[in-house]
Each structure stands twice: as C-alpha cells, then as structure tokens.
Amino acid sequence: MTLRGGLGPPLTPEALREKSAESLVATIYVGRPGTPMPPWHRFLSEAEAEWIVAQLLAGFPTE
Ligand code: HEM
C-alpha cells in the first residue's frame, strides 16, 4: 500500500530507476521463483502487467 517495501522490495520510482521495464514486467507476469514473489499471469494480461510497471515508474500521485 505504501510501495516502500516489507516482505518485498520498495516499488518507488527511485528504487526502480536502474531496472528495465521489461524485467519488471517479467517479474510481475512470471514471478521470481524461489522467492515469495508469485506469478500473476493467471489474473493479469501481459498488457496489464506493462501498465502496472508504467504506473510504478511514473510514481503515483501523493493524494
Ligand atoms: C500485484 C501485486 C504485486 C506487484 C505488482 C508486485 C511487483 C513486484 C516487482 C515489480 C518486483 C521487482 C522489484 C525489483 O526488482 O526491485 C517484485 C519483487 C518482489 N515481490 Fe512483488 N509484487 C506484487 C505482489 C507480491 C506479493 C503478494 C508478494 C509476497 C507475498 C510479493 C513479494 C515480492 C518479493 C519477495 C520480491 C523480491 C523477489 C526477489 O528477491 O528477487 N510481491 N514485486
């Protein structure tokens, strides 16, 4: 909810700046095997995963 991390890493624009959009989309779509990050492909299309990454990289409005 805060995107500042907890079990997972922070998902703020600053934290994600060095990462490629493609790798972040893949992380959402197929998960990270061996970590608690689950795959979301059963619930999301790849286009929706791309949309989420675009929102994360742009940062959400503060209000
Ligand atoms: C739709 C919901 C979720 C989204 C959009 C999402 C997104 C992401 C993204 C983009 C990363 C990569 C961050 C990076 O490379 O710095 C990540 C990593 C991670 N996420 Fe998620 N996540 C979600 C739900 C969850 C849930 C439910 C869990 C655990 C219960 C989780 C646990 C983790 C963990 C542990 C990592 C780090 C994996 C590693 O060590 O490489 N995530 N998540």
Q: How many whole angstroms separate alpha carbon 17 and alpha carbon 20?
A: 8
Domain residue ranges of the chain, discontinuous segments joined by +: 16-58
pTM score, whole prediction: 0.91
pLDDT for position 60? 82
pLDDT at 63: 67
Closest CA to ligand 1's atom 26: 37
The 8 Å CB, 24+ separation contacts for 44-51 are 49/25, 50/21, 50/25
- The predicted pLDDT at position 61 comes to 77
Residues in the chain: 63
pLDDT for the residue numbered 62: 72
Q: Which residues line ligand 1 (CB under 6 A)?
A: 7-9, 11, 16, 19, 24, 27-28, 32, 35-38, 40, 52
**pLDDT tens per residue across all 63 residues of the chain:** 889 999 999 999 999 999 999 999 999 999 999 999 999 999 999 999 999 999 999 998 776
Place of tokens 């286009």: 47
